[in-house]
Structure 1
Amino acid sequence: MTFGILALVALAGILGPLLGARVSWHVPVVVGELAAGVVFGVTGFGLLDSSDQTFTFLADIGFALTMMVAGSHVPVRDPAVRAAIGKGAVRSVVVGLLSVVAGYGAATAFGTGHAALYAVLIASSSAALILPIVDSLGLGGTSVLQMTAQVAIADTVCIVALPLVIDPDNAPRAGVGALAVAACAVALFFVLRAFHRSGHWRKLHKFSEKRKFALELRINLVILFSLAALASSTHVSIMLAGFAFGLVLAAIGEPRRLAKQLFAITDGFFAPLFFVWLGAAINLRDLVTHPSAIWLGLVLGGATLVVHAAIRALGLPLPLGVLSAAQLGVPVAAVTVGTQLGVMGDGEPAAILLAAMITIGAATLAGAAASKAGLTKPV
């Protein structure tokens, strides 16, 4: 990898903000970044080589940081959300059961043998994608809080389950590794909480701010990369390490200064690089050479919308049910890990991303419908 290629990657990443600049479109920034990767990668001009080891390693850093930020967005400290956990949990379970049926049906129809993977994909929701839509539209009320709890639960469970279902032959080993990462995350929570409560973290913050040392960022990067190293050594995706540490930050309360620093290095460089790399790695020409992949994407996307909309029967307004179907983190993680492990068939990664784009488009329309239906915060 050269500086010229790195400049091209950075330039490609700008397409994300350009597409996301129109607020009324509600287009996630990552859509443009993925599209740029597709144009310059194996599908398009072939200028970006996703197999380059340096490019791949930098993308892995971006993957870990992206999942950490996603985990930090889960509203585990919000009392209103915690009060809605009961109904949110029940609805998550129902969505999960329906997803198992839908996943089995899709895997059987297309003969992929990935019923468990499809079930996790269909059941997943993206807190990092849905919560900004909720905030930007000013959505609120009991139903929105219950949906938020449902999304947080689904996001967490599916992130944990994905490494276990994507490579079933190595599920026991992955399970042990996942438990090791989770145990370390729990230990980190108690250590960091005690450090915060003692006042030492505040003293560190003031000292770092005064001397311009960015110590909070450095320390948290050490922790993140250590968890990623543990995950890699135990054959677990770094996705879980990043998300687990993000949940820890969300639980103890992420300092604003740290949040800004993480935003700068993640959204400013590493996350765009990761999504451009992912787009460059996906061969959308497989959708042409393997037309069944298009149908698979349509089926997975449609099944996701139907399963989440079915929660209308449990009292969740239809627009919020469709909004809760929006997914990106889990499909992206599935494609990333599946591509690295070589366990996906021809066209399958492209089909999974197509399904995710369908849910994002539907969620954008559903969010607008929810706003028009008056599901907003009281003035």
Structure 2
Amino acid sequence: MSFIELSLICIVALLGPLLAAREAWHLPLVLGELLAGVVVGKSLLGWVDAGNQTLTFLANIGFALMMFVAGTHVPIRDKTIRAAIGKGALRAVVTAVVAVALGIAVALLFASSKAPLYAVLMGSSSAALVLPIIDSLALKGTSILELTAQVALADVAAIVALPLAIDPTNAMPKAVGALAVAVCAVAVWWILRRFERNGARRRLHTLSEHRKLALELRIQLSILFALAGLAALFNVSIMLAGFAFGLAVSAVGEPRRLARQLFAVNDGFLGPVFFVWLGASIDLRQLASHPAMIGLGLALGAGAVVAHAAGRLTGMPLPFAVASAAQLGVPVAAATIGRSLGVLAPGEDAALLLGALVTIGTTTAAASLAARGQRDPSAQPG
């Protein structure tokens, strides 16, 4: 990977701000960045090699940092989040039940034996996509707290369930790895809380701000990368490491200066690199050689939207319920693992990603509708 290629990625990622700049469209930053990646990646121009190890490493850093920031945005210290977690868990369960039924139906329709995989995909949510969309559109309210809890729980559950669905022989080591990451995140929270209570964190903050040392940012990044390294050691998604550490920081309280520093690093560079890389890794040309897989992809995408729309039955406004359907990390992981194990039919990996794109488009439209409703009280979603 060269500086020219990195410059190209940063330039095409500007499509995100260009689309989001027009407030009337209510489009999130990530949509333009993903579309830019599709254009310059495997599907069209081929200018960006998503398989490049250096680019992949940078993208993984961006993914971990973005999930850390997303975790810090979960208002754990807010008492209302307790009720939100309960309702979010209930909706995640309802979505999972509907996804199982739809997974069986899709498997029967396409004469496939992968009903468990399809169910996991349709029941999953991508915190890496949904939470940045919510943040970029400035969506607020109790329903958003409940949506955040639902997406986080569904994402973690899907990451844990995916190995069992597609590679059951390695499910136990991954579960052990997820538990190890969670235990370490709890330990970090305990240490941070102790430093906060004895005043050590405030003294460090004062010194860092006065001497321009950026100590808090350095320490937080060191911990984040250590947890990500632990997750990689156990072949667990670094999403879990980043999000769990973000929750730990949120539970203690994130300093405003650190939040501004993380915003600059994540939203200005590593986040866009991650989304362009994701878009570039998708090869939609495979679908042309296997037309039946187009139907499978559309069915998976539609099934995911229907499964998440079932949240309306528990009182969630329909636009918010549909907005929770976005997925990408789990389908990408499923396609990658499936290809390496040789368990997917020709073109099926592209079908999984097509289904993910359907959910992304639907989520973007639903979130935009919800944003318009919050700005126009007469158009509140119901």
TM-score normalised according to structure 2 size: 0.86
1:8 and 2:8 matched:
yes
Q: How does 1:72-151 map to 2 (within 5 A)?
A: 72-110=72-110, 113-127=113-127, 129-130=129-130, 145-151=145-151
Return the offset for 1:84: 3.4
Secondary structure, counterpart of 2:158 in structure 1: helix
Q: Which moved more, 1:365-374 or 1:187-196?
A: 365-374
Structure 1 partner of 2:236: 236
Return the offset for 1:147: 4.2
Provide closer, same or farther for how the CA distance between residues 222 and 343 of structure 1 changes in structure 2, counting only shifts above 3 A.
farther
| Contact residue 156 and residue 240 of structure 2 kept, 8 A | no
Give distance in 1, aligned partners of 2:138 and 2:268: 26
| Contact residue 182 and residue 244 of structure 1 kept, 8 A | yes
Provide closer, same or farther for how the CA distance between residues 279 and 189 of structure 1 changes in structure 2, counting only shifts above 3 A.
same
Provide closer, same or farther for how the CA distance between residues 140 and 255 of structure 1 changes in structure 2, counting only shifts above 3 A.
closer
Provide closer, same or farther for how the CA distance between residues 67 and 343 of structure 1 changes in structure 2, counting only shifts above 3 A.
farther
| Contact residue 160 and residue 174 of structure 2 kept, 8 A | no
Q: Could you say what the CA RMSD is over the residues aligned between the two structures, in angstroms?
A: 3.0
Give distance in 2, aligned partners of 1:271 and 1:336: 21
Give distance in 2, aligned partners of 1:71 and 1:305: 24
Provide closer, same or farther for how the CA distance between residues 136 and 60 of structure 1 changes in structure 2, counting only shifts above 3 A.
closer
Structure 2 partner of 1:277: 277
Q: Which moved more, 1:286-295 or 1:333-342?
A: 333-342
**Count of aligned pairs:** 377
| Contact residue 50 and residue 281 of structure 2 kept, 8 A | yes
Return the offset for 1:222: 0.8
Structure 1 partner of 2:311: 311
Give distance in 1, aligned partners of 2:252 and 2:337: 29
Give distance in 2, aligned partners of 1:339 and 1:260: 40
Structure 2 partner of 1:362: 362
Structure 1 partner of 2:208: 208
Give distance in 2, aligned partners of 1:5 and 1:303: 37
Provide closer, same or farther for how the CA distance between residues 58 and 340 of structure 1 changes in structure 2, counting only shifts above 3 A.
farther
| Contact residue 141 and residue 375 of structure 1 kept, 8 A | no
Structure 2 partner of 1:65: 65
Give distance in 2, aligned partners of 1:351 and 1:236: 24
Give distance in 1, aligned partners of 2:315 and 2:154: 18
1:224 and 2:220 matched:
no
Return the offset for 1:153: 3.3
1:46 and 2:46 matched:
yes
| Contact residue 282 and residue 349 of structure 1 kept, 8 A | no
Give distance in 1, aligned partners of 2:46 and 2:169: 34
Structure 2 partner of 1:198: 198
Q: Which moved more, 1:165-174 or 1:253-262?
A: 165-174
Unmatched tracts of structure 2, length 5 or more:
none
Return the offset for 1:272: 1.4
Deviations along 1:98-144, whole A, 9 cap, x unmatched?
A: 11222233344345544333323322334565556667777666555
Q: Which moved more, 1:41-50 or 1:225-234?
A: 41-50
| Contact residue 164 and residue 174 of structure 1 kept, 8 A | no
Structure 2 partner of 1:55: 55
Unmatched tracts of structure 1, length 5 or more:
none
Q: Which moved more, 1:71-80 or 1:123-132?
A: 123-132
Q: Percent identity, aligned pairs only?
A: 59
| Contact residue 84 and residue 149 of structure 1 kept, 8 A | yes
Secondary structure, counterpart of 1:84 in structure 2: helix
Structure 2 partner of 1:298: 298
TM-score normalised according to structure 1 size: 0.86
Provide closer, same or farther for how the CA distance between residues 102 and 212 of structure 1 changes in structure 2, counting only shifts above 3 A.
same
Provide closer, same or farther for how the CA distance between residues 135 and 261 of structure 1 changes in structure 2, counting only shifts above 3 A.
closer
Provide closer, same or farther for how the CA distance between residues 88 and 292 of structure 1 changes in structure 2, counting only shifts above 3 A.
same
Give distance in 1, aligned partners of 2:2 and 2:340: 23
| Contact residue 63 and residue 239 of structure 2 kept, 8 A | yes
Provide closer, same or farther for how the CA distance between residues 108 and 311 of structure 1 changes in structure 2, counting only shifts above 3 A.
same
Q: How does 1:257-276 map to 2 (within 5 A)?
A: 257-276=257-276
Deviations along 1:176-204, whole A, 9 cap, x unmatched?
A: 11111111111111111111222111111
| Contact residue 30 and residue 129 of structure 2 kept, 8 A | no
Return the offset for 1:44: 2.0
